[in-house]
Structures are given as structure tokens and as C-alpha cells.
Amino acid sequence: MRRRFQDYDRNLFLEVKSLNEWASLDRLMQRFFATIAAAFGALALFLASAGLYGVMAYSVSRRTIEIGIRMAVGAGRANVVRMVVRETMILVAIGIVLGLLAALGATRLVATALFGVKPTDPLTIGIAVFVMIAVTLVAGYAPARRAAGVDPMVALRHE
């Protein structure tokens, strides 16, 4: 085929590939875009967890006196950790609900970008929610431990 076209016009560029080669090239591009999307997803997850950690660390530092008073009147370290983690989980629960509503609202928009997965796939949504909850527990635990280590006397003198 190449020879026939070359006989017709020597300057004609012709790229002859088999169907398997074209399909392989197409799959390579799909893998590239999937890798880029996964990298951006991981970056978004990291930024969300860092932001959540920052908000909770700031909240704990602003409430040092309150936490000291709670511990002075008998709240144990486990109670303080539970309180801070519960507040973190409430923030994330609100975010998950709003995110699910936004995701369900954008199903038509993202349906064309998904390959082999429905936009409302319960397993995928469940895994995303589970990962966000796990990251929340990790991001909220450090400020909670710091809050539980507050000395009531130091906290009461703190301004």
C-alpha cells in the first residue's frame, strides 16, 4: 500500500499501522489521562486533609481554656479526644453530604469522562466516602491528642 502511494506521489507522507497499534496508542492516552486524574485526586485529598488538620488545630488552640476547664472538672483525656474527633467528623459529614449532592448534580457532566463506571456507582462512591472518613480520622487525631495533653492549670492561666 505504501509503495502504491509512493508511486503516485513521492512527497506524500503515509503512516501505516495495524489496528492493534492504533488501539494500543489509544489505550496509552487513556492511561495517561487516568494517571493525571488520579494525581489530581490525590492532591485534592492531601489538600483537604491538610486544611482539615489546620482548622482543627486552630480550633483546639483557640479553645485551650475551655478544654482546660473541662479537664479540671473531671473530663478525662479520652473524653477530650472523643469531643475533638466528633467535631472533626461533623465537619466532614457536612462536607460529604454537600459533595454527594454536587456529584449527583454533575452526573451528566462527568458521565462522558468516565470509562466503564457509572457516575452514580455505589461502590465507587462508598470507597470515596470511606477514604475521606479515614483521612479525617487521621487528620483530626493529632489535634485531639494535643488537646488531651493540655494541663488544666496551664490552660487556666493561658490568655
pLDDT of 148: 82
Q: Quote the cell numbers at residue 81.
A: 479526644
Type of residue at 45? L
**Domain spans of the chain?**
45-157
Q: Quote the cell numbers at residue 7.
A: 508511486
Distance, CA of 1 to CA of 7 (rounded, Å) = 10
| Cβ pair 110, 128 in contact under 8 A | no
Per-residue pLDDT of the chain (159 residues; tens, 9 = 90+): 767 777 777 776 667 677 787 777 778 887 888 899 889 989 998 998 888 888 888 888 888 788 888 888 888 888 888 888 888 889 889 989 998 999 888 888 777 766 677 778 888 889 989 998 998 888 888 888 888 887 777 777 765
Helical ranges in 13-148 per DSSP H: 19-62, 64-72, 77-105, 107-111, 122-148
pLDDT of 43: 95
Distance, CA of 123 to CA of 152 (rounded, Å) = 46
Type of residue at 40? F
pLDDT of 158: 63
Instruction: Output the pTM of the full model.
Output: 0.67
DSSP 117: S
Residue with cell 483537604: 48
Distance, CA of 156 to CA of 159 (rounded, Å) = 8
Closest of 98, 102, 90 to residue 133, by C-alpha: 90
pLDDT of 115: 67
Closest of 56, 57, 44, 35 to residue 131, by C-alpha: 44
| Cβ pair 71, 152 in contact under 8 A | yes
